[in-house]
């Protein structure tokens, strides 16, 4: 695989490679404080061992809070971290979201970078400079747009991921294919779950293609005033499902949200039924149950309170083909009518 390094406007490098090797090259010569979680410390201690300062947080979406961020701020003060300190987030999307938020706010901002250890982090969460925490169960309600200096995506670390976590990342990679890379979609569509799980060359290619599309979009629209909204495909309902179901993880909820978006696109006359069926079949074949366990009425309630709802309307991302999509502004009433027609 050629060219394993991409960047966002020359400011944020995203490298697919061996974490220890890349860190030796990318870390600045200064004090580094690593922020990680107990799973990484147990399964990949070698990544944290070189650092004298390591702050560990808990695991799971429930730790992604202002309270956790404040506890890290306090720990940084206690350890005497200053404005020259570099923060290194090592973990999946939850660790990197929190570490990026802490780095963006500690002393009004210090330099930071990530080692992204999960498929979901590699293909979406850790790349692109969105950092933040949830508030009272509302996803990513408080946060910043601020680019890490680098993100190292090390696919060898996926070996210790449970199947369920790995699968969750495939939902985001499939989303990226639907948004703008038909070949990425086809590569996933043509592979079995077992092949993706075990064939490093295949997953490297999927990570690289996902990162290529995401860095290009973020480079053109970092703060989500336009094109970046496309990266939210499947997330309007995905976030609502994740919030209301309490059993589905982010990727599983996004898988169900993708199918809702595809069906809405068919109803709106934007997407051929055959393309919608390909999306559904691929999700099912990968092992997702892409049917929301939460009634639509409850999801619509959650969508109304989503941070992306503005003035009684919502921007809904709808696929128009495998490899393209468009963003439509819909009143919440129109969204409700569309949802009822499914």
List, by residue number, the catalytic residues.
108, 130, 172, 214, 224, 228, 232, 235, 239, 250
Nearer to ligand GLY, 250 or 263 (CB): 250
Q: Which of these ranges, 157-165, 227-235, 239-247, 313-321, lies near ligand GLY under the rule CB under 6 A? A: 227-235
Using the minimum distance from each CB to ligand GLY, give the nearer residue, 124 or 204: 124
Q: Which among 200, 198, 199, 206 is positioned nearest to 282, based on CA atoms?
A: 206
Which residue, 135, 146, 144, is CA-closest to 306? 135
- Which residue from 23, 231, 260, 322 is in contact with ligand GLY, where contact means CB under 6 A? 231
Q: Which is nearer to ligand GLY, 44 or 230 (CB)?
A: 230
**22 is a site residue for ligand GLY (CB under 6 A):** no
State the nearest-atom distance from the C-beta of 198 to ligand GLY, in Å.
27
225 vs 330: CA distance, rounded Å = 17
Residues pairing with 314 in the sheet: 330
**Best CA proximity match to 327, nearest among 182, 180, 255, 229:** 229
Closest CB 306 distance from ligand GLY, rounded Å: 14
Cα distances (Å, whole numbers) of residue 131 to 99, 104, 203, 237, 265: 8, 8, 25, 21, 30
> Which of 92, 113, 128, 180 is in the footprint of ligand GLY by CB under 6 A?
128
Question: How far is 304 from 43, CA to CA, in rounded Å?
Answer: 40
Does the protein bind ligand GLY through residue 239 (CB under 6 A)?
A: no
228 is a contact residue toward ligand GLY (CB under 6 A): yes
130 binds ligand GLY (CB under 6 A): yes
Q: How far apart are CA 17 and CA 204, in angstroms?
A: 9
We find the least distance from the C-beta atom of residue 32 to ligand GLY, in angstroms, to be 25
CB 279 within 8 A of CB 333: no
Nearest-CA neighbor of 115 among 131, 104, 99, 102?
99
Closer residue to ligand GLY (CB): 113 or 234: 234
Which residue among 124, 181, 242, 252 contacts ligand GLY (CB under 6 A)?
124
Nearest residue to the partner ligand GLY, using Cβ = 231
Tokens of 155: 């696919």
In this chain, which stretch among 9-17, 46-54, 225-233, 238-246 interacts with ligand GLY, using CB under 6 A?
Answer: 225-233
Q: How far apart are CA 259 and CA 79, in angstroms?
A: 47
Question: Cα dist. 337→6, 225, 297, 300, 316 in Å?
Answer: 42, 26, 11, 11, 14
- Tell me which stretch binds ligand GLY (CB under 6 A): 111-119, 122-130, 185-193, 306-314: 122-130
- Comparison of 81 and 317: residue with beta carbon closer to ligand GLY: 317
Binding to ligand GLY, residues 160-199 (CB under 6 A): none
- Closest among 35, 44, 41, 20 to 152, alpha carbons compared: 20
Does 100 sit near ligand GLY (CB under 6 A)?
A: no
The DSSP 8-state label assigned to residue 65 in this structure reads B
8 Å CB contact between 193 and 286: yes
Least distance (Å) from ligand GLY to the CB of residue 129?
A: 8
| Residue among 232 and 249 whose Cβ is closer to ligand GLY | 232
Selected range binding ligand GLY among 57-65, 123-131, 149-157, 257-265, rule: CB under 6 A: 123-131
Q: Among the candidate windows 51-59, 97-105, 124-132, 313-321, which touches ligand GLY by CB under 6 A?
A: 124-132
């Amino acid at each position: 695989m050629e060219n394993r390094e991409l960047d966002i406007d020359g400011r944020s490098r995203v490298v697919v490679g061996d974490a220890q090797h890349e860190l030796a090259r990318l870390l600045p010569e200064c004090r580094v404080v690593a922020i990680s979680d107990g799973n990484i410390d147990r399964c990949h201690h070698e990544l944290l061992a070189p650092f004298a300062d390591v702050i560990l947080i808990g695991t799971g979406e429930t730790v992604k809070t202002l309270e956790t961020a404040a506890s890290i701020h306090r720990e940084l003060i206690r350890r005497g971290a200053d404005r020259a300190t570099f923060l290194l987030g090592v973990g999946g999307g939850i660790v990197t979201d929190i570490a990026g938020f802490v780095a963006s706010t500690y002393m009004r901002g210090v330099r930071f970078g990530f080692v992204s250890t999960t498929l979901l982090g590699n293909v979406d969460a850790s790349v692109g400079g969105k950092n933040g925490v949830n508030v009272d169960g509302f996803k990513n309600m408080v946060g910043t747009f601020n680019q890490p200096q680098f993100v190292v995506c090390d696919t060898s670390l996926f070996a210790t991921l449970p199947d369920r976590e790995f699968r969750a990342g495939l939902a985001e990679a499939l989303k990226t294919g639907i948004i703008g890379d038909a070949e990425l979609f086809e590569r996933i569509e043509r592979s079995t779950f077992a092949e993706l799980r075990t064939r490093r060359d295949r997953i490297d290619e999927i990570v690289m293609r996902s990162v290529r599309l995401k860095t290009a979009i973020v480079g053109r629209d970092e703060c989500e005033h336009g094109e970046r909204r496309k990266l939210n495909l499947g997330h309007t309902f995905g976030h609502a499902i994740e919030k209301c179901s309490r059993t589905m993880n982010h990727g599983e909820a996004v898988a169900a949200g993708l199918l809702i978006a595809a069906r809405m696109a068919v109803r709106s006359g934007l997407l051929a039924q055959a393309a919608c069926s390909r999306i559904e079949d691929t999700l099912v074949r990968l092992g997702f149950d892409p049917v929301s366990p939460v009634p639509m009425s409850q999801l619509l309630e959650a969508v109304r309170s989503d941070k992306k709802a503005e003035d009684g309307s919502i921007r809904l991302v709808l696929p128009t083909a495998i490899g393209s999509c468009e963003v439509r502004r819909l009143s919440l009433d129109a969204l409700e009518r569309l949802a009822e027609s499914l």
